[in-house]
Structure 1
């Protein structure tokens, strides 16, 4: 990532708060670094990004973000290897997806160099914040929202692009028990399910609360038509292993094109694991569980890489998955994290150094 933008201004904090942070006990996404990147869209163009001290945002009560929900975001990470070198994992994929989300939400698309060089500058300024304890990383949250004012139901005329950094510890989800959803839908055909927009996630909270009240950790989302097909697991893509085949649903306007998802598919094929990208019915999963062919289910996403599912409920019946000595989930997680932390060769060109 060689810098091409020479005009990103940097305003540093007078005193860092890094000494107040216990890097051995970092929760996920709750501690924030000294600085953030901000960039405004005004008068039909994105202005030059700048790095400023981390601080609250002042907005007019009529800002359209509050009324019409024009907001998008990404989730990515930076890692440090044993030699203190900083690495990103497929950052251009996050940039491309941010603009796919922007287009769907009628938000002006962002120039690539604003994203890449802005991120590079911010990570250089707050580089000492990137944790080096085992399993820890720097969680990166780029987001854009409508800052323009007015109650008229139309796209805003002003937007803010911000990147915030949150050093985070290992993401251990433990054994996750899920409920296959029969009533509520995450998204619909022709909708915004493929965009990383805030409302997609807000709409998941209530059905998930209902599942938690029944003793489950998360919801497995099914299609909006008749809840026949498995689609996603919580806020993650989902993989299902029947016998020795790893299956995941095809991306669509309902399903997020996950970067971890596409990485797992490439990695699995290279390892000789048979993969299938196809629709999979709830009935097929139930039958496989009953006859012992269902070996694994796991979520896939940035935070946990893979999140193994220990069992699921459907129509009042619980099904347990077997505990495997060497699961596909554990193999794949190790292979991906070894690439991310520069512990292994990267045959795919996914790793990008600062």
Structure 2
């Protein structure tokens, strides 16, 4: 990793934080991604100077020059992680070091500066401390944290920018999916692909998600919760959902997930579940799995469970799969035993009710 000077955070007072009654009303049913806390963290990067001007202050609009490089050439990356209220009343982060490493891998792919892992984690810590009153009281609630970086230099020309801004904002979060169904339904996109070999599929950048919006809208219009993409080369193999990785559980004790070949995001929840599944005695493999085989295994009963995973939704059962060639049901169409078991164990570790034997949890207080 590049050698950067350390930064110190300047803490600015908030002149008008959200009032107690308004905040409590928002926290009663925050949903996902629509309610935001009082503060944000920002750090600047300038070529020749490095990271500087680190501050924690009021959440406020960002002023951008119309020629800011991000608006024209899409140099932008982000991360997503959560702060949890532990069973003993304390707070913690789950594997923030892994988020920091993935953030820097995304930065390298988009020709952006890396940020020291300790600065990344320090920025997250600062924001959680500033907005500790924004943890929602709803069942399963958490404080969702969104670190992101974009090119702020004003210029028109295809080259890496020489100025960037790194920010962290927070959003109290409840349930990710709004349907309330015990398992989600997904639509197979046969007309669109998410990423191609050599592209930015493994980077967490906004362009990947923008490309998924039309097929995701198609899925919703057809009555489904999410879209699943096939590989760009053969349009045959399962890759990932619009924002989540997929797992397949079989009746012989095997569990399969698509491999990290550069076209799908290396999910931190995905990596955690691979470890937990092995502890449960499953034979875990990362291998290509075709849509035709998925349908065949589901219809024969060989495939007993499919689930999606990600920071926002954690672990979500997949009950039905549909496409232009028809539809099929996974197992009973509801949550499977292994899906539920893995979810309970992962959430338990995150919230301090299950022992953390992997050192994944970083306590904040």
- Asked whether the equivalents of residues 49 and 114 of structure 1 are also in contact (C-alpha less than 8 Å), the reply is no
After TM superposition, list the pairs within 5 Å mapping 1:286-325 onto structure 2.
286-323=295-332
Runs of 4+ that moved beyond 6 A: none
> C-alpha displacement at 1:117, in angstroms?
1.4
Matches of 1:108 and 1:339 in 2, distance apart? 33
TM-score, length of structure 2 as denominator length: 0.92
Matched residue of 1:319: which SS? strand
**1:72 matches 2:77:** yes
Q: Map Cα deviations across residues 33-72 of structure 1 (whole Å, 9 max, x no partner).
A: 1110000111331114210100000000000111000000
Give the equivalent residue in structure 2 for 1:339.
Answer: 349
User: 317-326 or 298-307: which moved more?
Assistant: 317-326
- Asked whether the equivalents of residues 260 and 305 of structure 1 are also in contact (C-alpha less than 8 Å), the reply is yes
Give the equivalent residue in structure 1 for 2:230.
Answer: 222
**1:111 matches 2:116:** yes
Matches of 2:354 and 2:307 in 1, distance apart? 24
Matched residue of 1:47: which SS? strand
> C-alpha displacement at 1:170, in angstroms?
3.1
Matches of 1:218 and 1:119 in 2, distance apart? 29
Give the equivalent residue in structure 2 for 1:186.
Answer: 194
Q: Map Cα deviations across residues 50-107 of structure 1 (whole Å, 9 max, x no partner).
A: 1010000000000011100000000000001233211000000000000000000001
Give the equivalent residue in structure 2 for 1:145.
Answer: 150
Instruction: Choose which of 33, 45, 54 in structure 2 pairs with 1:49.
Output: 54
Give the equivalent residue in structure 2 for 1:207.
Answer: 215
> C-alpha displacement at 1:275, in angstroms?
1.5
After TM superposition, list the pairs within 5 Å mapping 1:1-354 onto structure 2.
7-19=8-20, 20-21=22-23, 22=25, 23-44=27-48, 45-172=50-177, 174=181, 175-243=183-251, 244-323=253-332, 327-354=337-364
* CA-atom RMSD in angstroms: 1.6
> C-alpha displacement at 1:211, in angstroms?
2.4
Matches of 1:252 and 1:136 in 2, distance apart? 33
Matches of 1:102 and 1:43 in 2, distance apart? 15
> C-alpha displacement at 1:180, in angstroms?
1.8
Matches of 2:136 and 2:220 in 1, distance apart? 32
Matches of 2:296 and 2:158 in 1, distance apart? 48
- Asked whether the equivalents of residues 81 and 132 of structure 1 are also in contact (C-alpha less than 8 Å), the reply is no
Q: Map Cα deviations across residues 282-325 of structure 1 (whole Å, 9 max, x no partner).
A: 12112112212121111110011111111111333110122367
> C-alpha displacement at 1:353, in angstroms?
0.4
Matches of 1:196 and 1:6 in 2, distance apart? 25
- Asked whether the equivalents of residues 304 and 336 of structure 2 are also in contact (C-alpha less than 8 Å), the reply is no
> C-alpha displacement at 1:18, in angstroms?
4.8
Q: Map Cα deviations across residues 254-293 of structure 1 (whole Å, 9 max, x no partner).
A: 0110000000000010111221211111121121122121
The number of residues matched between the two structures is 350
Matches of 1:7 and 1:202 in 2, distance apart? 34
User: 121-130 or 62-71: which moved more?
Assistant: 121-130
Measured at CA, do residues 134 and 210 of structure 1 come closer, stay the same or move farther in structure 2, by a change above 3 Å?
Answer: closer
- The runs of 5 or more residues in structure 1 that have no matched partner are none
- Asked whether the equivalents of residues 78 and 86 of structure 1 are also in contact (C-alpha less than 8 Å), the reply is yes
Measured at CA, do residues 287 and 140 of structure 1 come closer, stay the same or move farther in structure 2, by a change above 3 Å?
Answer: same
Matched residue of 1:140: which SS? strand
Matched residue of 2:212: which SS? helix
User: 209-218 or 84-93: which moved more?
Assistant: 209-218
Matches of 2:287 and 2:335 in 1, distance apart? 27
- Asked whether the equivalents of residues 246 and 273 of structure 1 are also in contact (C-alpha less than 8 Å), the reply is yes
Matches of 1:275 and 1:18 in 2, distance apart? 49
- Asked whether the equivalents of residues 12 and 35 of structure 1 are also in contact (C-alpha less than 8 Å), the reply is no
